[in-house]
Structure 1
Amino acid sequence: MASEEVLHKVQNLIERCLQMYMNKKEVVDALSHHSRIEPCITELVWQQLEQQNPLFFKAYDMRLMLKNQIMVFNRLLQDQFEIMNKEFSSGIPSMSLPNDSNSNLCKTFLSSLIMGRDCS
């Protein structure tokens, strides 16, 4: 495969990874593991994309930070839920997990935040 074709292939793979909100390290690791692409090539193409699209990557980085904050918050919420169920398991009714409709509402809200849209 010609070097131009390789770079184009790597760019397409990076763009697919960006759609899954992967950070740079995750993209480099995924392409190395699944597509046998050297990390230095992925990093070079990533750098070129950043230079060509600085506003996109600035917004993308903000979305990744938001995604991370939501994941941390959800972990803390799950920990709190488990602690409360342990503390009150001695006869006091425990809390129940949110039903699927609430979970779906949270997922919709998260998606809308990440995509920068209104969640109405």
Structure 2
Amino acid sequence: MMKKTILITAVLALFLSCASTNSATVAIGENKSKVLKTLGNPIRTLDNNQNGEILVYADQVFDGDGTSLAGSNYWRYYYVYVNKEGKVTLTRQEKQNYPPQAIDSQKIEGLNLLTAK
């Protein structure tokens, strides 16, 4: 019985330590240093024109139905907009099929998807 309790505790601790960056959030007005402390290093950093930068956090989600080898998957993105003063001005989340390497701030800029208003 004691071994099962220890095993369950260890497994629970492992799951909690592997929590997604999306489970943590940051508030508008926080310093970039606090964002990095809370979420860690972003997977990408994009230039947001003259407004500052966009920190991009991403998790790949596998939502398999068992019919294919890897199942269906998508990327869950968390964007943190930081102004030139180093303060968070906006955060947003989205799901996409493309990987973080495919994000191109120059192409997306015209679509007003990544630029803060």
TM over 0.5: no
Largest Rg, 1 or 2: 1
Higher strand share: 2
TM-score normalised to the size of structure 2? 0.25
Higher relative contact order (CA 8 A, sep 6+): 2
Greater helix share, 1 or 2? 1
